[in-house]
Amino acid sequence: MNTADRMKSVQPSPTVALGNKVAEMKAAGEDIISFTVGEPDFDTPANIREAAKKALDDGWTHYAPSSGLPKFREVIAASERENGIPCDASNIIVAPTKHTLYMTCTALLNPGDEVIIQDPAWVSYEPCTLINGAKPVFVDSSKTELHFTPESIAEAITPKTKMIIVNTPSNPTGVVMTEAELKGIADLAIDHDLIILADEIYQKILYEGEHHSIASFDGMFERTVTINGLSKAYAMTGWRSGWLISPSHLFGEISKVQQHSITCIPPFIQIAGIEALTNTSAEVSKMREQFRARRDLMHSLINALPNWTCSKPEGAFYLFPKFESDMNSMQVAEKLLTEAKVAVTPGSAFGASVDDHLRFSYAASEEVIREGIRRVGTVGL
């Protein structure tokens, strides 16, 4: 039986495949240290778990309105207004963050449209573009210190360009985009009548500098879909709870995708989400400070190894070091896994320009970080 042609160019998620392999090796009793995970190792804060349990007992177990519970949408809108985004509850659709990306691409892209994506970038932007019949156009940022610059984006714009995806702080690099970079990209979007998809899921995991939401700039709210969520800052990956913010002229088309796919996210999860956004800021700061200490530790340990160099990113929970070797990133990742029992993600999973990098997640204890990097140092490149 024939399957859809457009799926033939879509590869399975390399990070999911790697995670499965590590889980299998651990289950077989191997002493693996994994720096592959894209999720906090902390438990979801207790007040959030309690709110979900109470919501279940209170009967929040039926369908919710498709765009989300009114109260949750209001709380989200209030938190996004703190980023300067001029939204209200009517601009919010509650959904898993990854699904908000899918909904936006499905509702806004036509076959043949071009979508400009940074190289390197998070693994799901390219497949989501391809699934919807559009064409990803990559902008190499390996020569601009992994920054996605307006100058390099300008060179990639053609009459077919429809959308630019920006992600700050970035997965995999941890780089935080500057206000000037975002303003430059906003100018391009206005000049060429483009949509911006702004992925801000790591917004609250920021150690230095400032977060800027591109939708807060003059003239940008109308052409930006911002996506965000609870997974990373609140240690809530398994809860599958996030949101998008859409201007009203795009909202109807995007919300149709939600209505005809997942319908809604569970209401007891949304009640817990209200608790997360209103009563958890101390816990979020505590987790961020632990991430900061781990970042500093892992950064200094990697830089002390011969053949490795690593910049210190301002956000997210990844380091993206460069190695000197004749091997490519997949070969080095395989060598680390077999010889040192350390799992990391090859740079090639995130883009062709960074095949001399590996992504290390520091969502792990300081003890695990010390032992893992010690092991990395025993492997010859």
User: Among 237, 258, 270, 361, which residue sits at the site for ligand PLP (rule: CB under 6 A)?
Assistant: 237
Least distance in Å: CB of 20 to ligand PLP? 15
User: Among 229, 267, 347, 351, which residue sits at the site for ligand PLP (rule: CB under 6 A)?
Assistant: 229
Determine, following the binding rule CB under 6 A, whether residue 315 of this chain makes contact with ligand PLP. no
Q: Please give the angle made by the CA atoms of 146, 105 and 4, to the nearest 5 degrees.
A: 110
> Which one, 98 or 288, has the nearer CB to ligand PLP?
98
Determine, following the binding rule CB under 6 A, whether residue 231 of this chain makes contact with ligand PLP. yes
Q: Are the CB atoms for 257 and 106 separated by under 8 Å?
A: yes
Binding mask 198-227 for ligand PLP (x = CB under 6 A): -x-x--------------------------
Least distance in Å: CB of 270 to ligand PLP? 14
Tell me which stretch binds ligand PLP (CB under 6 A): 77-85, 93-101, 187-195, 208-216: 93-101
Restricted to residues 106-125, the positions that interact with ligand PLP (CB under 6 A) are 122
Restricted to residues 28-67, the positions that interact with ligand PLP (CB under 6 A) are 38
Least distance in Å: CB of 95 to ligand PLP? 9
Q: Are the CB atoms for 271 and 69 separated by under 8 Å?
A: yes
> Which one, 87 or 244, has the nearer CB to ligand PLP?
244
> Which one, 40 or 267, has the nearer CB to ligand PLP?
40
Tell me which stretch binds ligand PLP (CB under 6 A): 96-104, 175-183, 218-226, 357-365: 96-104
Residue in the block written with tokens 């400070």 = 289
Least distance in Å: CB of 377 to ligand PLP? 28
Determine, following the binding rule CB under 6 A, whether residue 68 of this chain makes contact with ligand PLP. no
Determine, following the binding rule CB under 6 A, whether residue 171 of this chain makes contact with ligand PLP. yes
Element (H, E) at 207: none
Determine, following the binding rule CB under 6 A, whether residue 96 of this chain makes contact with ligand PLP. yes
Least distance in Å: CB of 252 to ligand PLP? 23
The amino acid present at 179, given as its one-letter code, is: E
Q: Are the CB atoms for 381 and 346 separated by under 8 Å?
A: no
Q: How many CA atoms lie within 13 A of 156 on its CB side?
A: 27
In this structure, what token pair is assigned to residue 265?
């996210």
Least distance in Å: CB of 100 to ligand PLP? 8
Restricted to residues 319-358, the positions that interact with ligand PLP (CB under 6 A) are none
Determine, following the binding rule CB under 6 A, whether residue 14 of this chain makes contact with ligand PLP. no
Phi and psi angles of residue 179, each rounded to the nearest 5 degrees, phi first: -60, -40
Least distance in Å: CB of 231 to ligand PLP? 3
Q: How many chain residues touch ligand PLP (CB under 6 A)?
A: 13
Least distance in Å: CB of 171 to ligand PLP? 4
Three-state secondary structure call for residue 251: helix
* Distance, CA of 100 to CA of 87 (rounded, Å): 17
* Distance, CA of 169 to CA of 175 (rounded, Å): 5
Least distance in Å: CB of 332 to ligand PLP? 22
In this structure, what token pair is assigned to residue 120?
């390197």
Residue in the block written with tokens 């969520």 = 229
Tell me which stretch binds ligand PLP (CB under 6 A): 104-112, 157-165, 229-237, 307-315: 229-237
Least distance in Å: CB of 201 to ligand PLP? 4
Phi and psi angles of residue 44, each rounded to the nearest 5 degrees, phi first: -60, 130
H helix intervals, the chain: 14-27, 46-57, 70-81, 97-108, 125-131, 150-156, 179-192, 248-259, 267-279, 281-303, 329-335, 366-377
* Distance, CA of 136 to CA of 113 (rounded, Å): 9
The DSSP code for 44 is P
Determine, following the binding rule CB under 6 A, whether residue 167 of this chain makes contact with ligand PLP. yes
* Distance, CA of 134 to CA of 130 (rounded, Å): 5
Question: 128-141 burial, b for 16+ CB within 10 Å, e for fewer?
Answer: bbbbbbbbbbbbeb
Restricted to residues 238-297, the positions that interact with ligand PLP (CB under 6 A) are 242
Q: Is the dihedral of CA 140, 164, 181, 173 positive or negative?
A: negative
Residues that bind ligand PLP (CB under 6 A): 38, 96-98, 122, 167, 171, 199, 201, 229, 231, 237, 242
